[in-house]
Amino acid sequence: MRIRTLTGSLATVLVMSFPLLSGGPAGAAPSGVPEQSLAARVLTYDASGSAEFRSAVDRGAAVWNESVDAVELRPAASGQRADIRVLADNGWPRALPAGLGGGTVYIGRQAVTQGYDTIRISAHELGHILGLPDRKPGPCSSLMSGSSAGTACTNRYPNAAERAEVERNFAGARSGTGGAERTGSAGQAGPVPRAVPVMD
């Protein structure tokens, strides 16, 4: 019995000491082994009510998927309740966020008629759902400058600051702390849902 205990203890000491004897740190993963990648929070959208703007909505979602890692926008499956509903109407484009990562977007024909780029409108309004405010007046390089950049502006991509803000907004979903689930309701930290439409 005592011999078995000593043998087991000796084996443990040797296993723990081997990395130190071979020059490597004890308990560290070998260099060159990639860290486990963190999954993005998936938000679904329903663009079935976006009429002639369906392809612009899909492209606006793709812009965000190409720009950030912490969140991914996907079309909702048939019968699935979407996080984001996208509709077309004759008014001005706007977003009605219902907490971070959810709400309704309107692709308004009024701005399209005036000459604004439909994909920029889509990406901009989805930016509100991802927690970004308007940044008006602003340069064309800022997606969230919206209509203040003028009809000649066709930049559809968020700038570095806008990308970083979305990454921060959804960082909890990637770290497992649930930060992206925050809705701003009483007793919770996070962005407070807007009670009025975000008009652009």
Which residues are annotated as catalytic? 125
Q: Contact, 200 vs 146, CB < 8 A?
A: yes
Residues 6+ apart with CB under 8 A from 2: none
Q: Measure the N-to-C terminal CA separation of the chain; round to a whole number of Å.
A: 79
Token pair 């930049």 is at which residue? 155
- Of 70, 65, 64, 40, nearest to 169 (Cα)? 70
d(CA 166, CA 159): 11
d(CA 96, CA 87): 11
